[in-house]
Structure 1
Amino acid sequence: MKHVFKNIMQIMHSIDILMEKQLTPSVLILIYSAMDIVSSLSVRGDRDSQKKDFIAWVDRYLTPKLQTCTGSDLYAARCSVVHTLGSESSMSREGKAKNVVYVWGNESPDKWQSISNLTEYRIVVIKIEDLIYTFRQAVGEFFELAQKDEELLQNVKIRSQKMFSDENIFREN
């Protein structure tokens, strides 16, 4: 299971490097992929992770801290960013989620949210740095809970066996 945490930390380090270089589209793709990965660890049993699992994980660990959106909003944003590098998804077009737009650096999400509230569009504005920070907190909370919840810990261990590892599993001792 050590490789799972190592992989997540490497992804977070990559996000930091991309953010430092102001490669924000890549940051968004990677952070939503990381959310997918970590939320898949909470899926009980041997079934594939689904939309409902992502939303449930985000609603439990991330949105209470972010407080500007729902798990559905972030799932729709994930679909939009990963599939089209946009801000609109089928869920947002159907009114099931808000469009997520992003600011970073010195920009304030509050200023842009106030402007968007004057329009007919359902938009939530998220500062990318806040999303990164909040995701880090959520990951920490999830792994902390896994250490206390034996059933979740066993589930994470089982699911982690199917994850990529850069460890040489064929190495002779």
Structure 2
Amino acid sequence: MNSFERDPLINCIENGIKNDIRICQQSGALRGALVLILTGIDYMAGLNMPNGQEKATRRDYIEWCDRYIRFNGDHLITGTEFYAARCGMVHSYTSESDFLARNGCRQIGYMDKNETDVVYKPQINENLVMLSIDGFIRAFFSGIDNFFISVFSDGEKARIVEERLEKLVHIFPFQGTEGELEAD
């Protein structure tokens, strides 16, 4: 394994978070892709925390979405709506959550593909917005890329994020015999 593959941006983000989502998408495991995106936002919000903060909060998640998740078309899905969707999917494998009900958010429904990423027809149901999973994947990946562009344009923020990236799960192939714990 070359040193480039050891870089956390390659190992954890490109070959980890993004690749796992791509594999789900390509194999038709779209619910799995959704879970990975909605939890992947948690990881990005955690990387983005202020210096000295130990755990990402709901507010961090919502702010990361509001800043970095963008779609084609006119309709906006708020960070609060994404957080409600995350709660439903992660905690009950549904598109409903207590947070959704308490905060008056629109429920997010999902489509595999669509010409536009977001479809909102309030004349039919003002409490439902439909989201293309393909569009969500593109928007999340673009959000990750834009996040890192922003981070690495600020030296102090870059230092903090680089330290946090080192703590993410890295995968290294082993070479040797049984019982050896030496990584390549």
Q: The TM-score by the shorter chain falls in which range?
A: 0.7 to 0.9
CA distance 1:167–1:28, change in 2 (3 Å):
same
Match of 1:17 in 2: 23
Query: Aligned pair 1:145/2:153, yes or no?
Result: no
> 2 CA distance for matches of 1:89 and 1:143?
30
Question: What one-letter code is carried by the residue in structure 2 that aligns with 1:74?
Answer: F
1:24-173 equivalent positions in 2, closer than 5 A: 24-44=30-50, 45-63=52-70, 67-106=75-114, 113-114=120-121, 117-119=123-125, 122-167=127-172, 171=182
State the aligned residue count: 170
Aligned-partner SS, 2:22: helix
TM-score norm. by structure 1 comes to: 0.84
Q: Which has the higher helix share?
A: 1
Unaligned runs of 5+ in 2: 1-5, 174-180
Q: Deviating runs (4+, > 3 A) in structure 1?
A: 63-67, 106-110, 170-173
Which structure has the larger Rg? 2
Query: In 2, are the aligned partners of 1:99 and 1:124 still within 8 Å (CA)?
Result: yes
- Identity percentage of aligned residues: 25
Question: What one-letter code is carried by the residue in structure 1 that aligns with 2:94?
Answer: G
Instruction: Output the aligned Cα RMSD.
Output: 2.7
How far does residue 73 in structure 1 lie from its aligned partner after superposition?
0.3
How far does residue 74 in structure 1 lie from its aligned partner after superposition?
0.4
Unaligned runs of 5+ in 1: none
Q: Which range is displaced more, 69-78 or 2-11?
A: 2-11
TM-score norm. by structure 2 comes to: 0.80
> 2 CA distance for matches of 1:64 and 1:24?
18
Aligned-partner SS, 2:49: coil
How far does residue 108 in structure 1 lie from its aligned partner after superposition?
6.1
